[in-house]
Structure 1
Amino acid sequence: MGTDMDEVSPDLAIDTMFACRKTAALRAAIELDLFTLIGEGSTAATLAAAAKASERGVRILADYLVVNGFLIKEGDTYRATPSSRTFLVRHSPAYIGGAIEFIAAPEMLSQFLDDPAACVRNGGSLGLANLSSDNPVWVKFARAMGPLVARSAMALAEEVAAWPKKPQKVLDIAAGHGRFGIEIAKTLPEAEIVAVDWSAVLELARHNAGEFGVAERYRTIPGSAFDVDWGSGYDLILLPNFLHHFDIDTCAGLLKKCRETLAPGGRVVAVDFVPNEDRVSPPFPAAFSFEMLATTPRGEAYTEQEFAEMARRAGFSTATAKPLPPSPASLIFFE
């Protein structure tokens, strides 16, 4: 029988210390478009020629990607794994490589790596971080993250389309790329979308609405969701990936504003990461609080019970969470 000492290893600590190198390698591969250029199989020499890069550099990067599970190496030939072909080849319908432009943006990484202990001591970011007004990081977010949430946005639209009473007037708060509201507009031809976000972000949302053929039913209101008058009579108010940026009191105040601007029978639906009550499972939602610790003053990933508390403070009866596969996010219904 093994003992606890048999399992003692520095591997996890060492791997975590080196983890940012994996991000750097993936970013380089995406910027050089190696996953697309590799085709059915390529050597370092042919890849380097196609990417207009050093053969030595491409060989070392490709080997590193093999070690970390992104590529397969047979002799001198590199091939993409099925997952890499699906998500990292640029012409794939499921391509998500562009998300690296936000997730690994220098202004994002600096918030985690410059002085992480200070965020822990402070209980949140030093200053407003990502929550400063008209922060340009949200334009980068809107450009990069739309494809990453596309399937979740489609799943939300399917959920809404199955309701007995289809919403016709929809408010999308902190719309960003606009994909959640746009997918509802695509699915429900009678639905009109009103999107709230910073003005520079809304330029991209309007562009995306045009690309998806719903521009004539897509209106925007620039400014902070906490401050602007967004009107009333909404059948559905969306809060996609927004509440986790704030503390419970602030969330409850926004939800109260939402409730007061709903039409009779209207609903509020958030998209968010919901950890279990133990706060350490499932992995991605549980880990997301650390993301908020570094990038917001008081945000975190909330449990279903905490969402229910927000709901009660805002005048709703309760909040219930429902998984939103294939993403690690959930839908939260405030009723």
Structure 2
Amino acid sequence: MSDISPELLMDTVLGYFRTSAIKAAIELDVFTAIAEGAGTVAAISRRTGAAEPGIQALADYLTVLGFLDKSGDGYRLTASSAAFLDRRSPAFLGDFHRFLAAPEMLGLALSDPAAFVRNGGSVGLANTAPEDPVWVSFARYMAPFFGPIAEATAAHFAGLTPAPGRILDIAAGHGLFGIAFARRFPAAEVVALDWDNVLGVARENAAAAGLGARYRTLPGSAFDVPFGGPYDIILMPNFLHHFDEAACIGLLAKARAALAPSGRVAIVEFVPNEDRVSPPMPAMFAYIMLATTPGGTSFPPSALRRMLAHAGFREPDFAPLAPSPQTLVVAEVA
């Protein structure tokens, strides 16, 4: 019976301290300090202005978690920490805790989890409320994570003939998916749809990319606003998981009606295997949606195939977007 242990239970119940530690380290720029040569408790303390006992406990905790390596009295970054947590790195992702661990998100997850499990979804609209300011935070702080995924999605269409001329980016958020397509296809025009408060971030990013008149915005709900068209490609990055299957079919059918005869829908999602417990991040994402949406979930391939078929699309192609945990799903109009 040596494999029986309360360690997993203890570790899980105390999981919020992992969030606490990483937030503290990012706010104090501990990772950047170590990357710049402050490798001891005393040196990190001097660079960050934090007390040595605090840095000692934090650095050791981060070492146990796998964010730091320790040898003697010295600390150094792991390869992943150097890539994603050194603020000088072009791949820096540290600030996305400002969305993922925002007070609103923590409240949804921890205030009464039994209630959303009983209810089969959040009690109320949660993150699907109109003009929710949390999505402005998403657009600003999650953009570094989704930038490479957007580029990989656009690259998937590199050989498409003829090149797409009109593209609709639904739930555009930061706008990076539509912007990646506009860069890939210099003659393409992109329409970005989202709440108007969120589209402010997309407009900033499109202006920085120099897209000018090739980038337009369409404020409002994807369920209510007419899409116009016809479009050659309709992008749905990280959107379907907010809704139940019936709502997704309706949204996909609306997209199909706005596509040109040879048009395609490009969906980016966390797609678990049919067992719904692997791979880890896509599988666990269903619980996150349970806590934060009235009816959202992560859909396995069979569900996506079924929804697309009901909406009038052909058999989809699934393309993993490694090293991210997401999958690109592309389906052509039937």
Same fold (TM over 0.5): yes
Distance 2:304 2:255 in 1: 15
Native 8 Å contact 2:191 2:215 kept in 1: yes
Aligned partner of 1:213 in structure 2 is 210
Does the residue aligned with 1:6 lie in a helix, a strand or coil? Answer: coil
Distance 1:334 1:82 in 2: 37
Does the residue aligned with 1:213 lie in a helix, a strand or coil? Answer: coil
Native 8 Å contact 1:151 1:326 kept in 2: no
Distance 2:16 2:193 in 1: 34
Distance 1:213 1:49 in 2: 42
What residue ranges of structure 2 are gaps of 5+ in the alignment? none
Q: Which residue of 8, 11, 17 maps to 1:15?
A: 11
Farther-moved stretch of structure 1 (64-73 vs 198-207): 64-73
Aligned partner of 1:130 in structure 2 is 127
Aligned partner of 2:197 in structure 1 is 200
Q: Which residue of 30, 34, 49 maps to 1:34?
A: 30
**How many residues are matched?**
331
Q: Does 1:87 align with 2:84?
A: yes
Does the residue aligned with 1:161 lie in a helix, a strand or coil? Answer: coil
**Equivalent position amino acid for 2:3 in 1:** E
Native 8 Å contact 1:150 1:179 kept in 2: yes
Q: Which residue of 35, 42, 47 maps to 1:45?
A: 42
Q: Which residue of 139, 143, 155 maps to 2:136?
A: 139
Native 8 Å contact 1:206 1:215 kept in 2: no
For normalisation by structure 1, the TM-score amounts to: 0.96
**Equivalent position amino acid for 1:154 in 2:** E
Native 8 Å contact 2:28 2:48 kept in 1: yes
Q: Does 1:181 align with 2:204?
A: no
Distance 1:11 1:165 in 2: 57
Does the residue aligned with 2:23 lie in a helix, a strand or coil? Answer: helix
For normalisation by structure 2, the TM-score amounts to: 0.96
Farther-moved stretch of structure 1 (224-233 vs 73-82): 73-82
Distance 2:44 2:38 in 1: 9
Native 8 Å contact 1:322 1:331 kept in 2: yes
Native 8 Å contact 2:121 2:291 kept in 1: yes
Aligned residues: percent identity? 53
Q: CA deviation at 1:95?
A: 1.0
Q: Deviations over 1:273-327 (max 9, x none)?
A: 1111111111111111001000001110001111111112212233332211111
Distance 1:165 1:30 in 2: 46
Distance 1:276 1:240 in 2: 19
Aligned partner of 2:147 in structure 1 is 150
Q: CA deviation at 1:101?
A: 0.8
Q: Does 1:307 align with 2:275?
A: no
Q: Which residue of 149, 167, 172 maps to 1:170?
A: 167
Q: Which residue of 230, 246, 250 maps to 1:249?
A: 246
Q: Does 1:288 align with 2:285?
A: yes
Q: Does 1:259 align with 2:259?
A: no
Aligned partner of 2:222 in structure 1 is 225
Distance 1:182 1:261 in 2: 20
Does the residue aligned with 1:36 lie in a helix, a strand or coil? Answer: helix
Q: Deviations over 1:133-153 (max 9, x none)?
A: 000110010011010111111
Does the residue aligned with 1:57 lie in a helix, a strand or coil? Answer: helix
Distance 1:289 1:215 in 2: 38
Moved over 6 A (4+): none
Native 8 Å contact 1:322 1:332 kept in 2: yes
Q: Which residue of 93, 98, 110 maps to 1:96?
A: 93
Does the residue aligned with 2:157 lie in a helix, a strand or coil? Answer: helix
**Equivalent position amino acid for 1:144 in 2:** Y
Aligned partner of 1:271 in structure 2 is 268
Distance 1:323 1:144 in 2: 23
Native 8 Å contact 2:38 2:47 kept in 1: no
**Equivalent position amino acid for 1:319 in 2:** P
